Amino acid sequence: VQKSLVRDGQIKNALVALSEALDSRAILTGEAITERYSRDWSGDYVGEPAAVLRPSDTSEVAAAVRICRDACLPIIPQGGHTGLVGGATPDAAGQIVLSLERMNRIRALDSLSMTMVVEAGCILQTAKEAALAQGCLFPLTLGAQGSCQIGGNVATNAGGLNVLRYGMMRNLVLGLEAVLADGRVFSDLRALRKNNTGLDLKQLFIGTEGTLGIVTAAALRLYPQPRWVETLWLSAESITGIMALYDHCRREAGELLSAFELITAPCLELALELDPNSPLPGDVARFPAHALIEIASSGGPDLRPWVEELVASMFENGLAQTGLMAHSTAQAAALWRIREIMVEAQQRRGLHLRTDISVPISAIPLFAARIDEVLAQALPGVKVLTYGHVGDGNLHINALPPAHLQGSAFRPWLLPLTRKINEVVDAFGGSISAEHGIGITKRTALEERLAPVDRELMHAMKATLDPDGLLSPGRILVV
């Protein structure tokens, strides 16, 4: 009781100081704190922020951090709440949420240098549209792009659909501005493509999920907007067949291959339940594995005749069994909608298993087969949903519960089934987190796998940058 009284006093005093340092719209307390700030998209964790701070510029973030540090109040940075590992959700009580949502300006866009400087709270879709308006492409593309923010993308080192061509967020960040745990501002927003001047300090804040600093702005790398985009759906007899298609496309299309997604039959079945009017040919549903492929170029001659030849050759040599080449932008969008709706359909089924792993690309067929065996043995009747960015060796092995374990009855199974999957990942030399990060959900699994040197270095880095452990405590590292 005494501890919580002291904490209440600290919060009260801090709020007085905060109300002097920040503008009137920046602080939410009590009933003004809506559910939005207490949970994320997954709904796996629900917290109770002591207060929500919504600074409008970097100096307000720095002031807020200094006041919270003086009052020993832990801070959880929040972006668009679409993270899938619980990192942005505050604990039950006493933590301060720092939302970047009001810092959403595009500070600069240079279409000759192909760079833009964007504040952390800018929604990814908005940043993409601003680039498009200048004939440029910001290539990060993911299902949550209408809600997730640039700061969240940096903090999680987000991946998505076009990584095989453009890389993950880390590859797209040229410069960064971040507020440190003591309120100092690290600022290097020079959008330089070459800069070999010792330690690349911005990397400290990319993929570290707000544990080493609060990202306030980023200088981003842009590309020419694609002029010719061809979208294909091709089906095969097995995942091995899909990997043969991948190999062929990779070699023939080279760097023009922009996306290559695997969708297995159970995933397609779920999507078609929600979207029965898809443009797919009727026989597609008979095949066990499918690829959604994008080949694009930013200049040169029209790609269509060449891609038509490529597709014809894949049918002639038996690599593809059936499929569709989108004949319009609307049809291409309808194909991508199947990919999107498949995720939505899983969410609608309620509690289910979600994972995000990577293995060497060539190991995918054997790995997926082993997972099917292991899960069927562990829990007969479980419906395994395998899909993902196979061009990056990144699979999402998700699973729906058997009929008798719907809803919360499935909860006790989540951890044991995840453990089984992680054991197979280890056996194949893979990673337990390919693109979603560690957050709270995966910190124990990470801890079990960290080599002693890695653990020491990670803790040393945290101790140097956040000696009081006030930034996103308990995320990534078990404290």
Ligand X SMILES: Cc1cc2nc3c(=O)[nH]c(=O)nc-3n(C[C@H](O)[C@H](O)[C@H](O)COP(=O)(O)OP(=O)(O)OC[C@H]3O[C@@H](n4cnc5c(N)ncnc54)[C@H](O)[C@@H]3O)c2cc1C
Q: Does 368 bind ligand X (CB under 6 A)?
A: no
Which is closer to ligand X, CB of 142 or CB of 424? 142
Q: Whole-number minimum distance, CB 321 to ligand X, in Å?
A: 27
According to CB under 6 A, which one of 56, 58, 82, 355 is a site residue for ligand X? Answer: 82
Residue 375 phi, psi (nearest 5): -70, -40
Q: Which is nearer to ligand X, 208 or 422 (CB)?
A: 208
343 binds ligand X (CB under 6 A): yes
Q: Which residues ranging from 188 to 247 are in contact with ligand X (CB under 6 A)?
A: 209-210, 214-215
- Which of these ranges, 139-147, 233-241, 282-290, 379-387, lies near ligand X under the rule CB under 6 A? 139-147
CB closer to ligand X out of 287 and 466: 466
Q: Which is nearer to ligand X, 153 or 264 (CB)?
A: 153
* Interaction between residue 151 and ligand X (CB under 6 A): yes
Q: How many residues bind ligand X (CB under 6 A)?
A: 38
Sign of the C-alpha dihedral computed for residues 371, 373, 379 and 383 taken in this order: positive
Q: Does 41 bind ligand X (CB under 6 A)?
A: yes
CB of 394 to ligand X, least distance (A): 9
- 80 sits near ligand X (criterion: CB under 6 A): yes
Does the protein bind ligand X through residue 394 (CB under 6 A)? no
Position of minimal CB gap to ligand X: 152
Minimum distance from residue 283 beta carbon to ligand X (Å):
29
Residue 475 interacts with ligand X (CB under 6 A): yes or no: yes
| Residues 439 to 458 in contact with ligand X, rule: CB under 6 A | 439
Identify which of residues 241 and 437 has a Cβ nearer to ligand X in the complex: 437
Spatial separation of the C-alpha atoms in residues 219 and 167, rounded to whole Å: 16
Interacting span for ligand X (CB under 6 A) from 110-118, 137-145, 294-302, 415-423: 137-145
DSSP bridge pairs for 179: 185, 214
Site string for ligand X, 259-298 (x = CB under 6 A): ----------------------------------------
Residue 422 or 433: which CB sits closer to ligand X? 433
* 94 interacts with ligand X by CB under 6 A: no
- Please give the residue ranges that form the binding site for ligand X (CB under 6 A): 40-41, 76-84, 87-88, 100, 120, 142-144, 148-149, 151-153, 155-156, 158-160, 209-210, 214-215, 343, 435-436, 439, 472, 475
